[in-house]
Structure 1
Amino acid sequence: MLLARAAGRIGPAPDLVLALSRHGRRTLHTTGTAPPPEDRPRDRLRYELGSASKTFTGLLLARLVAAGRLSYDEPAAELLAPGLPVHRSVAEITLRHLITHTSGLPGLPAGFYPQAVPRWTTAPYAGYPADRVVRAFLRARPRHAPGTRWHYSNFAVAVLAHALAAATDTPWDVLVHREVLAPLHLGSTSLAPGRAGADARGHLRDGTAVPVLDIGGFAGAGAVRSTPHDLLTFLEAHLAASGAYAGTGAAGNTPFVPPPDAALAGALARMRHPVLRRGPRHTHTHTLTWFQHASPHGPVNFHAGATPGQQAFLGYCPDTGTALAAVCTRRVSLKDPFVATAHGLLTD
């Protein structure tokens, strides 16, 4: 009933799934105005996470650092183009700055908008490939000295992904799968569309279907697509690392399998700890990859995301052993109640 009432507050969407885990016991609510898929239920479709993908990128960085393969303070430019002269501020940007949105880079490269505007509602990233993202970074003039101000940046996290791929000499999709998806048994999660019928289709506000996401060179900032069940497994891994997962294995659930190595377990544990406070009286708190809000039940870590036709919300509360994954195939708007309603399920 709780999830059904929340779905009513969110309002109509072609597809909507609310997936809740409390101490390992999962409850899902699915609904939608579009006809249900013929070959699989809505909770088995893969949904585009948009910016919530950054939680996977941050976890990957933390794992590589925990394993001793990288340092948070490594300069990104040296990993991407060793010895190439760059602006002094660019040379000072570290992997830590990129993941915490303190690099001084803008939200998107200056040259992004002219190519994006003609397809803004359907595929704004498609014409901006990886090599162009890297070139834009190496030629950038940061607005602020690295480490001095917080400014949310898809550009920065996209650059981080390319730096991690360069540092490990591994393609980004292979690196994420090997270091995060496979160890956490996320077999229904990927960085690219799957076979026909596997992925949910996004929709504009008028119900028009949009193409599957083409994220161009911004994969680290928004390429992940996943099923609600895999998303709960991902969140339960964070709860387990904080000691808040009981793992009841209730009927119909997929019990979380602990990570097989200490580096990933340590990286997951790090995700809950604040690394940055900002705003008036430092009321806005951030962990390495999550926004963190206080609640009557303890801190809540969360991240939302949107693509041209879909929305996603991921969050977990260690003190209550609760995790929530919410997805819908409706384009976001300024007054959309989706994120606020999902957030409320964790904090109320």
Structure 2
Amino acid sequence: MCKKYKIVHISQTPLVAAPAKVALAQRMSGHETVAIAIKDYPINGPLAGKFIEDFLIEDEFTKGIIDEAISKADIIHIHNDLPQEWTTRLLHANQTAKYVYQVHSPLREGPLYLPRDSSLGLPFSLKLVVGQFQPRIHQDHVFVPNIIHDTPSVRPRRKGEKLKVIFSPTHLRPGRWNNKYVEQLDTALQSLVKLGKIEAIIPDKPVSPKALMAVRRSCHVSIDEIATGGFHQVSIEGLAAGNVTINKADYFSKTVFSTFSNGEKPPFVYADGESIASTLEDFANDWEKTAEQQLVSYNYFKKHLTPIKMSSIFDKAYETL
């Protein structure tokens, strides 16, 4: 049985809830774990309040419990970055904890990120990286997964049912690895909607993760990005929702991710700007093919990607401490 730890996760912002999801999975596995976000996203911004449900954000009410968690922690797990005053605070409060650093972002892309593990002044014993496209950039880090807590489900497409497609990027910033937009996708979706082949759902503003997942469960196809060769958390959410999950993930990205699933590569459907229209039309014209691929997605998530199984990957990484 894996040793059970007292773990504190700390991030400057919610990082679309990724640290809190790790903490929740670890609590489900028997660890005593808390996630702290130093601040929410800007109050007037579109992401404010949407990703903090499972975080503690420090105020007069929570400061005592945060101080206690830090002082008693066996592991302090830092995500992406930390203000200098927090570095000083941690070192003063706890001289025995093991420090873990995890990076979620590509280099020098919005929101601008530079590696901080060597400059934070903390004695990191382990460096982790999200195991999607990121390991090709951060090459001396151990791979760990993003975790999805939604219970897997599937609503296979039925005969006579129009193909329902969702595309829901959190942003449209340009970049090598953060890019989530190609013009051909817009054209393909608009054309296929006009032809009556598909129903397209494209939120015009950020919505809560729970609402977005509820809508995704009603769809047959989730489109991630088809620009970079990587993929993002939405692809994992697509599998959990039993969707045909379309992205441009290349061999490297899928091979890295397969380390979390006993070597079985994720059942993503490949498309790029040139092929997205024909890929969607093929599924639109074949309800049985759609339903079969939906079941493949659902079964893969259920077999490999549940929170307890993903938490065990962090346990294995911590064993090196």
TM-score (norm 2): 0.25
**Bigger RCO of structures 1 and 2 (CA < 8 A, at least 6 apart):** 1
Greater CA radius of gyration, 1 or 2?
A: 2
TM-score (norm 1): 0.24
